[in-house]
Amino acid sequence: MKKLDKYIMGLLFVGALILAFLPNKRYAYHQIKSKDLLYKTNLNLRYYSTDDIAKAIISKDPSILLIDVRTPKEYADFTLPGAINVPYDSITNTKNLSYFKQDVYNVVMFSNGSSLADEVWLMLSRMGFENNFVMKGGLNQWIETIIRPPRPTNLAGQKEWEQYEFRKSASAYFGGAGGQVNSNPTAPTPTPVVVPQKKTGSIGGCE
């Protein structure tokens, strides 16, 4: 496991412990048990890779809903095609929670790295929400692997070369071949998605 991955896992583990035992005073919802939250945190099943997301966007996978949890300014500068902006500090607004409390889509959140999206995932998991995931490495990893994929060494195996060929094609698809990936001023505003809420359970509190 890479040093950075170990660091993130450590932060998540500590965060899960804190969140699991903090009393909730604002929202009324079914909270996941602390031991179950810790178990989910230790698994890597919450992650989608950048390759997974590139394939989903290219194939127009209708089961994936991308949510950018960064600031509106960062979102306006550059984001993934079709992504919706739900800033980190507004996640718990009742209106925004409807994106996460549903069973229609696999919601994949992303930020610049993984840590901010991981924090949101922890919070949503504590609430007992399912079908929420994180794009591992965030947009930094997206740039490094999809937009500007590194060429494998001569000793690389067939699988690595096949992955590289896919990434080169994906880079061309997303307009990264020329390296102009710092801004996204002409990207169309994503069409608002109406997400039906689950029929069971309720969210209390105010915005």
pTM above 0.75? Answer: no
Amino acid identity at 41:
T
Which residue, among 136, 141, 142, has the nearest Cα to 81 in the 3D structure?
142
For 10-55, what is each residue's pLDDT tens digit?
544 444 444 444 444 344 445 555 555 555 555 678 899 999 999 9
Q: What is the pLDDT of residues 66-111, one digit of tens each?
A: 999 999 999 999 999 999 999 999 998 988 999 998 889 999 999 9
Alpha carbon distances (Å) from 167 to 45, 51, 186: 23, 8, 23
Q: Catalogue all structural domains in the chain, each as residue range(s) with its CATH number.
A: 45-142 (3.40.250.10)
Two structure tokens written together for 203: 């969210």
- Give me the sheet containing 106-110, strands edge to edge: 47-48, 132-135, 106-110, 64-68, 84-85
d(CA 122, CA 69) in angstroms, rounded, equals 13
Q: In 3-state terms, what secondary structure has residue 177?
A: coil
Q: What is the pLDDT of residue 108?
A: 97
Tokens found for residue 25: 């005073």
Query: pLDDT (tens digit, 9 = 90+) per residue, 124-140?
Result: 988 888 899 999 999 99
What per-residue confidence (pLDDT) applies to 125?
Answer: 87
Tokens of 9: 């896992």
